[in-house]
Amino acid sequence: MRPGASRGGARSAPPSPATVAAMSGAVDLAALKARSDAAARAAEAPAPAAGSYVVDVTEATFQTEVLDRSFQVPVLIDLWADWCQPCKQLSPVLERLANAAAGSWVLAKIDVDANPRISQALQVQSIPTVYAVIGGQLVPGFQGALPEAQVREFVDAVVKAGQEAGLAGVAGAAPEADDPDAAPEPPEDPRFAAAEQALDAGDYALAAQRYQAILDQEPGNTEASLALGQVQLLQRVESVDRAAAARADTSPDDVDAQLAAADLSLAGNDVHGAFDRLLTAVARTSGADRDRLRTRLLEYFDVLGPDDPRVSTARRELARALF
């Protein structure tokens, strides 16, 4: 699946380059290739049967029931424990809303005592905690047993985001009434389809070449620009000099080491770590070295998208460091 889109031509909001991807000793917040793989698996997997809208999830089933499923339908994660009294107030509300929604979203219940690696990876501070996952992207939710009206507001926002991302929902979901005034969905652009095909095959160089060809024809194509930035990050991480990255903390003036370590941090979803490392290096350098660091930061901003609040903060810090 191409970055920032869903199959069949429906466009979604630009995804973060680092999203929940797999359980392998812990929940690995990995990069775009894992999203593409998960999306492909979800496209081939059967949707939940009608009535199966509340699922008990374990570390073994997290990939299938949460990550892969989130490319079909929004998944809300309810992190709870048997001893937690607020959990006993919130969980029945979520379960009732999930069943009433009849497939417009799925509730994944995770017992934190039985599945500690998930709660550790998600950095859960207290329970109950609720997250949403849409197209492989983790969306912060809330903590505590909120009033049902507020829970409904969050659920409604998640469902709307899933619709905007082009998720089709699961079997049994109530279909929306056709809007006769709605514009027809645009057909799939064959140029993006070709780039997506290369990305799915793991040929990042060819994918980058095809996205660049789109930009050569249309310099203002933001979707192609975003996708190219994500693919370029994957290319760098695939061939990153890990020896250089390992010496970054002890060699603050080694620009190559700082760039390599920052790429690994971003691909591992440590956005703040990547930003802080490069912003610190910008303040220490000048000339060509500073320009390399600045350019890499701008690439990160493009990959994450202008709506990410971390980007606006880092832009201000970069301006202060430069001027």
In this structure, are strands 75-80 and 129-134 parallel, antiparallel, or unpaired? antiparallel
Catalytic residue among 84, 124, 134, 281: 84
Q: What is the CATH number of the domain that holds 80?
A: 3.40.30.10
Does residue 179 sit within a domain?
A: no
% of the chain surpassing 90 pLDDT: 34
Phi-psi region of 139 (alpha: psi -120 to 50; beta: other; left: phi over 0): beta
- Domain annotation covers residue 209: yes
Q: Which among 32, 47, 75, 87 is annotated as catalytic?
A: 87
Cα 273 from chain centroid (whole Å):
17
Task: Please give, one letter per residue, the 3-state secondary structure of 62-114.
Answer: HHHHHHHHHHCCCEEEEEECCCCHHHHHHHHHHHHHHHHHCCCCEEEEEECCC
209 and 124 co-located in one domain: no
Domains of the chain: total: 2
| pLDDT (0 to 100) of residue 93 | 93
Is residue 180 assigned to a domain? Answer: no
Q: What is the DSSP letter of 227?
A: H
Residue 157 lies in a domain: yes
Cα separation, 194 vs 198, in Å, equals 6
Task: Verify whether residue 84 is a known catalytic residue.
Answer: yes
CB distance 225 to 215 below 8 Å: yes
Report mean pLDDT in 10-residue bins for the chain, 323 residues.
Answer: 37 31 32 50 53 86 90 92 93 92 91 92 89 87 90 91 74 45 64 87 89 90 84 84 86 91 84 92 92 92 80 89 81
Residues 153 and 206 in one domain: no
User: Do 228 and 196 contact (CB within 8 A), yes or no?
Assistant: no
**183 in a structural domain:** no
pLDDT tens by residue, 9-28 = 333 333 333 333 322 222 33
208 with 150, same domain: the answer is no
Q: Are residues 281 and 141 in the same domain?
A: no
Cis peptide before 186 (omega within 30 of 0): no
> Is 170 inside a domain boundary?
no
Indicate whether 312 and 259 sit together in one domain. Answer: yes
> What pLDDT is recorded for position 85?
93
Q: Are residues 160 and 11 in the same domain?
A: yes
Distance CA 23, CA 142 (A): 23
What pLDDT, on a 0 to 100 scale, did the predictor assign at position 169? 59
At 33 the pLDDT is: 46
Domain containing 203 equals 190-322
Q: What percent of the chain has pLDDT over 70?
A: 78
Same domain? For 23 and 159 the reply is yes
Q: Within a domain: residue 102? A: yes
Whether 74 is in a domain gets the answer yes
Output the average pLDDT for the chain: 79
Residues 160, 12 within the same domain: yes
Q: Cβ distance 305 to 14 under 8 Å?
A: yes
3 state DSSP class of 133: strand
Contacts of 52 (CB under 8 A, 6+ apart): none
**pLDDT at residue number 71:** 86
- For the question of residue 86 being annotated catalytic, the response is no
Same domain membership, residue 305 and residue 214:
yes
Residues 226 and 267 in one domain: yes
**Are both 34 and 136 inside the same structural domain?**
yes
CA-CA-CA-CA dihedral for 112, 30, 273, 134, to nearest 10: -70
pLDDT digits (tens, 9 = 90+) for 123-166: 888 999 999 998 888 888 899 998 899 999 999 999 988 888 77
Domain boundary among 124, 147, 164: 164
Say if residue 160 is in the same domain as residue 237.
no
Helices 255-267 + 222-238 axis angle, to 10: 110
Nearest to 57 by CA among 110, 94, 130: 110
Whether 156 and 104 have beta carbons less than 8 Å apart is answered as: no
Classify residue 182 by burial, with Cβ atoms within 10 Å: 0-12, 13-18, 19+: exposed
